[in-house]
Amino acid sequence: MERIYLDYNATTPLSKEVFDFYVKELGEYANGSSLHEDGRKVAASIEKARKQVAHLINVDPKGVIFTSGGSESNNTVLNTMPEYAKKAGRSVIVTTAIEHPCVLEASRRLANNFGMEVIYLPVDEYGTVDMEAYKAALEKKPLLVSIMTANNEIGTIQDVKTLCAMAHQAGALFHTDAVQAVGKIPVDLKDWDVDYATISGHKIYGPKGIGALYIKPGSPIEPLIRGGHQEHGLRAGTYNGPAIAAFGYAAELAEEGLPEYEKHTRALRNRLRDGLLSAIPGIKINGHETNVLPNTLDVSFPGAEGEAILLHLDLLGVSASTGSACASASLDPSHVLMATGLGPELAHGSIRFSFGKYSKAEDVDYIVEKFPPVIEQLRKMSTVSYTHN
Ligand SMILES: *Cc1c(COP(=O)(O)O)cnc(C)c1O
């Protein structure tokens, strides 16, 4: 049987169009910095991709640099802060408790190795940033605020435009990790007026190992990787021309396909949500009801354990996830769900289904048919007795 892939937030396949284009581009081997004709040809396709990526997020292409992905882009912004702190004579950073591990780990380093103060904003039960806590944090005159546009586990979308305006009012720079938002909801960085933004190729049907960082002209930035003069000296290393070109094409397709993508994934997400709610008693849908990514459904199954559920889903031919892929090697409950106030039992028994371009209604119907008996069985086996009411 064909497997059912419902883990698009962990990564997407290359779309069929991007696959064919990328394979063709792999033959373009020249160094994009070389001055000869072969090099100039690669440089031209890199500049085309820069325009395509910039257009997707509505910024000036001059502000876009290519990186190895979302993790590198996020690290580049945060690792700029120690130098900037020295110049500015301030050292507070504000982020949230539900960021991707690459933001949390890079922030932890700023606190541990550079004596900076990092404030991790709490969120409410839906995953929305606590505004009172944010206002209080801004009183401390932070250098930088870093808040993700949409969460990878529960899909909750933040009001980036308002959060950014508040940061600017308080004299802080604003960064958003928009990796999960682009291609799923409209992302207009010019309107939001952010200073930095992160996006990644493999979350929008492009290649892995390629991404971009948007830097508003004039905003401070220190290269993470030093060496050659590529990307105005902000990111050294020979251009990965084929991956950049394919990322650009993926960005163009993501922009074109956005309305259809939203509609398609939302219908499937809601079909699964409604199917599970009517077939399995006592379950809880996590995240915000309306400010949520159209493709993301995170569900707690009290009385059953996440890893066991995942294994059974796997046996049924379904690929889903417990929380974030990056944290799944550890058995700690999801930091995102814990931040929304779920107890460890519910947080442990949670599954993220994330839909995409190639998901189908019959996949959902198959799960709604086969999955409830599995939960019933797991609940019976569970050592913690479970009663719902
Ligand atoms: C996947 C992801 C990243 C990491 O991007 P990579 O390109 O895999 O390094 C960062 N932030 C969020 C929200 C993500 O979902």
| CA dist 262 → 213, 259, 265, 271, 293 (Å) | 24, 5, 6, 14, 9
Alpha-carbon distance of 199 to 211, in angstroms, equals 6
**Tens-digit pLDDT profile for residues 155-175:** 999 999 999 999 999 999 999
**Tens-digit pLDDT profile for residues 331-366:** 678 999 999 999 888 888 999 999 999 999 999 999
Looking at the CA of residue 325, tell me the nearest atom of ligand 1: 1
List, by residue number, the catalytic residues.
Answer: 326
Please tell me whether residue 186 adopts helix, strand or coil conformation. coil
Among protein residues, the one whose CA lies closest to atom 6 of ligand 1: 70
Choose one of 7, 72, 102, 247 to mutate for the ligand 1 pocket test, by most ligand atoms within 8 angstroms of C-beta: 102
- Residue 53's Cβ-side half-sphere holds a number of Cα atoms within 13 Å equal to 33
Please tell me whether residue 367 adopts helix, strand or coil conformation. helix
Q: 388 and 302 in contact (C-beta within 8 Å)? A: yes
- The model's confidence at residue 386, banded by pLDDT at 50, 70 and 90, is low
pLDDT at res. 382: 78
pLDDT for residue 328 is more than 80: no
The residue type of 142 is P
> Considering the entire predicted model, what is its pTM?
0.96
The residue type of 335 is H
Among protein residues, the one whose CA lies closest to atom 5 of ligand 1: 70
pLDDT at res. 324: 47
**Tens-digit pLDDT profile for residues 224-278:** 999 999 999 999 999 999 999 999 999 999 999 999 999 999 999 999 999 999 9
**Token pair recorded at residue 280:** 């399995």
- The model's confidence at residue 383, banded by pLDDT at 50, 70 and 90, is low
pLDDT at res. 290: 97
pLDDT at res. 345: 85
* Residue 7 DSSP one-character state: B
State the distance from the centre of ligand 1 to the C-alpha of 200, rounded, in angstroms: 7
The residue type of 213 is L
Beta strand pairing status for 350-354 and 173-177?
unpaired
Q: Report CA 281 to chain centroid distance, whole Å.
A: 31
Q: 346 and 337 in contact (C-beta within 8 Å)? A: yes
Alpha-carbon distance of 88 to 141, in angstroms, equals 11
The residue-averaged pLDDT of 208-218 equals 98
State the distance from the centre of ligand 1 to the C-alpha of 194, rounded, in angstroms: 19
List of E strands, 78-147: 92-96, 117-121, 144-146
* Residue 97 DSSP one-character state: T
Q: 171 and 137 in contact (C-beta within 8 Å)? A: no
Percent of the chain scoring above 90 in pLDDT: 92
Which residues contact ligand 1 via a Cβ below 6 A? Answer: 69-71, 100, 102, 148, 152, 177, 179-180, 200, 202-203, 211
Among protein residues, the one whose CA lies closest to atom 3 of ligand 1: 70
Q: 318 and 4 in contact (C-beta within 8 Å)? A: yes
State the distance from the centre of ligand 1 to the C-alpha of 385, rounded, in angstroms: 37
Please tell me whether residue 329 adopts helix, strand or coil conformation. coil
State the distance from the centre of ligand 1 to the C-alpha of 219, rounded, in angstroms: 22
**Token pair recorded at residue 192:** 């939001």
The residue-averaged pLDDT of 51-79 equals 98
State the distance from the centre of ligand 1 to the C-alpha of 91, rounded, in angstroms: 26
State the distance from the centre of ligand 1 to the C-alpha of 11, rounded, in angstroms: 9
- Residue 88's Cβ-side half-sphere holds a number of Cα atoms within 13 Å equal to 20
**Token pair recorded at residue 314:** 């796997």
Looking at the CA of residue 10, tell me the nearest atom of ligand 1: 1
Choose one of 11, 72, 100 to mutate for the ligand 1 pocket test, by most ligand atoms within 8 angstroms of C-beta: 100
- 227 CB-contact burial (10 Å; exposed 0-12 / middle 13-18 / buried 19+): exposed
State the distance from the centre of ligand 1 to the C-alpha of 231, rounded, in angstroms: 21
Alpha-carbon distance of 363 to 320, in angstroms, equals 12
Helix 131-138 / helix 160-169 crossing angle, nearest 10 deg: 20
- The model's confidence at residue 326, banded by pLDDT at 50, 70 and 90, is very low
Looking at the CA of residue 202, tell me the nearest atom of ligand 1: 7
Percent of the chain scoring above 70 in pLDDT: 96
List of E strands, the chain: 4-5, 64-67, 92-96, 117-121, 144-146, 173-177, 196-200, 211-215, 284-286, 296-300, 318-319, 350-354
- The model's confidence at residue 329, banded by pLDDT at 50, 70 and 90, is low
The residue type of 341 is G
Among protein residues, the one whose CA lies closest to atom 4 of ligand 1: 70
Among protein residues, the one whose CA lies closest to atom 14 of ligand 1: 179
Beta strand pairing status for 144-146 and 173-177?
parallel
Of residues 338, 378, 344, the one with CA closest to residue 154 = 338
The residue-averaged pLDDT of 45-63 equals 98
End-to-end CA distance of the chain: 37
Looking at the CA of residue 70, tell me the nearest atom of ligand 1: 5
Least confident of 151-160, 321-330, 362-371, 375-384: 321-330
pLDDT at res. 255: 98
Looking at the CA of residue 9, tell me the nearest atom of ligand 1: 15
Report the C-alpha dihedral over residues 70, 72, 77, 78, rounded to 10 degrees: 110
The residue type of 24 is K
